Amino acid sequence: MSDGSNSPGNSGAQLTGGIALGRAADVERPLRIGILVSGRGSNMQALVAACRQGHVAAQPVIVVSDRPGAPALEKALAEGIPVRCLDFHSYPSREAYERDLIDTLQAAEVELIVLAGYMRILSSEVIRAFPQRILNIHPSLLPSFPGLHPHEQALAHGVKLSGCTVHLVDEGVDQGPIIAQQAVPVLDDDTPETLSERILEVEHQLYPEAVRLMASGALRLFDRRVVRSVERRQ
């Protein structure tokens, strides 16, 4: 039972209180995910592969791009996933674009939105339409180095560890509650490119794992803390 309390209670093996995230999904009723892209789409591919291989109880039902030439669109089509291109620059306003985006995702009956290299900041309209149901991956250990050029920021600061973070999307930029993180070493001869490659490899593991957790029905949110309860046996 959710009592809305702010700290995790423990009743036997089951966590109580807080807000339940995601839903317990299985092969018969996989979590319906919509993937938003703007570019290359390697995280999208990793996630689609994990779903297809049965590691994640989720089904990519739509891929939406805000950019007509995004390579991710071709990759999604090759996977047989329905795609929509909502060319941001063809809309009279950001509001009109986002209205169409919300309608498109709702028409596809999306339960979880996964931002995979999607280069726009979502307004509160979109976030309110899908509360606690939007994930993002960022290539740094948040809250360090949010926003643009995180690899350059990490190297300029001189950190010895960086990595990636999957988080819920809220009104702030790269600020929502953290679902999962993974660290990688920063090497003395790293450039933004080599660091980015090392982190990207880990992103391809971490993002499917975070979606798997959202589809396990085991996550609860207490203020900013995402806590894992006992997972249902599949």
Coil, strand or helix at 189: coil
| Token pair listed for 224 | 């900013």
Does position 163 bind ligand GRF by CB under 6 A? no
Cβ-based nearer residue to ligand GRF, 125 or 197: 197
CB of 126 to ligand GRF, least distance (A): 17
Buried/exposed 77-96: b ≥16 CB within 10 Å, e otherwise: eebebebbbbebeebeeeee
Does position 66 bind ligand GRF by CB under 6 A? no
Cβ-based nearer residue to ligand GRF, 46 or 215: 46
Does position 167 bind ligand GRF by CB under 6 A? no
Q: Are 156 and 130 in contact (CB under 8 A)?
A: no
Tell me which of 55, 89, 138, 157 is the catalytic residue.
Answer: 138
Does position 117 bind ligand GRF by CB under 6 A? yes
Whole-number Å distance between alpha carbons of 98 and 103: 8
Amino acid 4 reads G
* Catalytic annotation present for 151: no
- In the complex, which residues of this chain contact ligand GRF (CB under 6 A)? 39-43, 116-117, 137-139, 200, 203
Question: Catalytic site residues?
Answer: 138
